[in-house]
Structure 1
Amino acid sequence: MTVNPTTHVLWHCQYHLVWTRKGRCRILKGNVGKEVYRQIWILRKKFKIQKVELKIQIVHVQLLVRIPPKLSVSEVMGHLKGKTAIRLLSKLPWLRKHKLWGNYFWARGYCVDTVGANAEMIRKYVKHQEKQE
């Protein structure tokens, strides 16, 4: 549980977020994966989001986070996907040249699941998924 002493709010809004690459292209490794991680880290600090677990795999990103109740999940996902795409396409210009992607980096949707009593099980799944596959 997180307590914000200035607003007297006790909250535990924990979510499992998953989003994929457009066309499910297998490029979220090396410098691309590092840039995605770096941008998520910057946004996490900016919005005061608490990272529980993060796994950047070749095709998708899995993130287990606690989001303050004043932020909506769709707002957070918009920033995560939008800012990482802008950063990647500007920092790694070779990504823009692929004709199928256009100026889009991420697939259109995302998956979100609220996490309650099974938080530890989901945290372990996110952390160790590659080993299970």
Structure 2
Amino acid sequence: MNNATLRTSSHSAYRLYYHLVLSMKYRHKCLSAPMLNRLDSLMRDLLIKWRCEMVEFGGEADHVHLLFEAPPTVKPSDLVRSLKSVSARHMRKEFAAELAPFYWKPYFWNSAYALISVGSRANIETLLRYIENQDDPRKMVKPLD
């Protein structure tokens, strides 16, 4: 993560990171190494289409973690919905035989997810101190006439 440089668009400068955790329906331990590799590839491609960038991908047999960067124009809930639906469709098609013992209905992801915003350079305490120490006109004492 190169935190030193802000990304820019026509009307904004930003650095927005998100940590997304998706778990398997019923927390079944059904993801194999080839499945995780395919999910990594699918998620990276989908994020590019949304003008986002994958920073890191990892997972276990029953869940995956994505750390990605997104522009401020992306609505996170819409992005997550797209990531889940497109990846599930591909995985159910490409790994039908491997998933058959776990899911007889067209299930893949749990309906819930965790999405956490991640600081890029400063932790919350540093940010609070920075904001508190601004030259806020409300804090300035007016001299007596």
TM-score strictly above 0.5: yes
Residue 102 of structure 1, aligned match among 101, 105, 111: 105
Displacement of 1:101: 5.2
Aligned-partner SS, 1:55: strand
Equivalent residue letter for 1:65:
F
1:53-68 residue pairs with structure 2 within 5 A?
A: 53-68=56-71
Q: TM-score, normalised by structure 2?
A: 0.72
Work out which of the two has the higher radius of gyration on C-alpha atoms and give 1 or 2: 2
Give the equivalent residue in structure 1 for 2:77.
74
Displacement of 1:18: 0.6
Distance in 1 between residues matched to 2:93 and 2:53, nearest whole Å: 27
Q: TM-score, normalised by structure 1?
A: 0.78
Displacement of 1:16: 1.0
Structure showing the higher helix proportion among its residues: 1
Distance in 1 between residues matched to 2:36 and 2:94, nearest whole Å: 13
Residue 31 of structure 1, aligned match among 30, 34, 57: 34
Distance in 1 between residues matched to 2:103 and 2:91, nearest whole Å: 16
Residue pair 1:40, 1:84 contacting (<8 A) in 2 also: yes
Give the equivalent residue in structure 2 for 1:131.
none
User: Which consecutive residues of structure 2, in runs of 5 or more, have no partner in the other structure?
Assistant: 1-5, 124-145
Over the aligned positions, Cα root-mean-square deviation in angstroms equals 1.7
User: Which consecutive residues of structure 1, in runs of 5 or more, have no partner in the other structure?
Assistant: 119-133
Structure 1 outlier segments of 4+, above 6 Å: none
State the identity as a percent. 27
TM-superposition CA deviations, 1:42-74 (whole Å, max 9, x none): 102111112222112221111111111111111
Residue pair 2:28, 2:102 contacting (<8 A) in 1 also: no
Equivalent residue letter for 1:46:
K
Aligned length: 116
Aligned-partner SS, 2:65: strand
Residue 55 of structure 2, aligned match among 52, 56, 64: 52
Residue pair 1:89, 1:95 contacting (<8 A) in 2 also: no
Distance in 2 between residues matched to 1:63 and 1:100, nearest whole Å: 24
Equivalent residue letter for 2:11:
H
Distance in 1 between residues matched to 2:109 and 2:102, nearest whole Å: 14
